[in-house]
Amino acid sequence: MRRVLCEDTEYSYLQANALKRLKQVRELVQNLGLDENYIVRLPSCKCVIFPWLGTAGFKTLERMLNTFCRESLEIKSIGGSCPYYITVRLPRDKVENLEPEITSLCTQRIIPEHLVSEAEAPQLQKYDEYIPYPLLRKAFVHDYLNLDEVKL
């Protein structure tokens, strides 16, 4: 999707109104700088991250922010809509540090198990309540998190 929004290709199969909307969205992407950056700064110390990831990569990035950046960046809240965007509210003096912090996280030797606490046992399937917690954590790490996708 990101490639479509950043290129100039005119798709002959689109109707006139769809072409018009695509042109408007492409202009918006360029005006916001999303063709070069993934983070848009909003007023009131809020940033929006457009990670352009699948669901597993998105959830992994969200957990990375919660686990490793919440204290260092003094994040007040994390929200958004999976897998489209993440909103992050932080103090005014920490807004500039968000992008370097995410970039730094991607270079560190983080393993997926670091993103799930020992006390956590995500129950996502019908019979998960009958499965031992260590096994549930292991299944969650392997089925719902993807560090490789985030690091790209």
DSSP symbols for 45-61: TEEEE-----HHHHHHH
- Provide the domain limits for residue 6: 1-36
29 shares its domain with 41: no
3-class SS at 95? helix
54 shares its domain with 85: yes
Pairing outcome for strands 46-49 and 85-89: antiparallel
28 shares its domain with 83: no
Residue 136 within a domain: no
In this prediction, residue 152 carries a pLDDT of: 66
Radius of gyration (C-alpha) of the chain in whole angstroms: 18
31 shares its domain with 56: no
85 shares its domain with 56: yes
The domain total for the chain is 2
Residue 17 within a domain: yes
User: Which pTM value belongs to this model?
Assistant: 0.84
**pLDDT tens for the 152 residues of the chain, in order:** 888 999 999 999 999 999 999 999 999 999 988 888 899 998 888 999 999 999 999 999 999 999 999 999 999 999 999 999 999 999 988 989 999 999 898 888 888 888 988 888 888 889 988 999 889 999 999 999 999 898 86
In this prediction, residue 108 carries a pLDDT of: 87
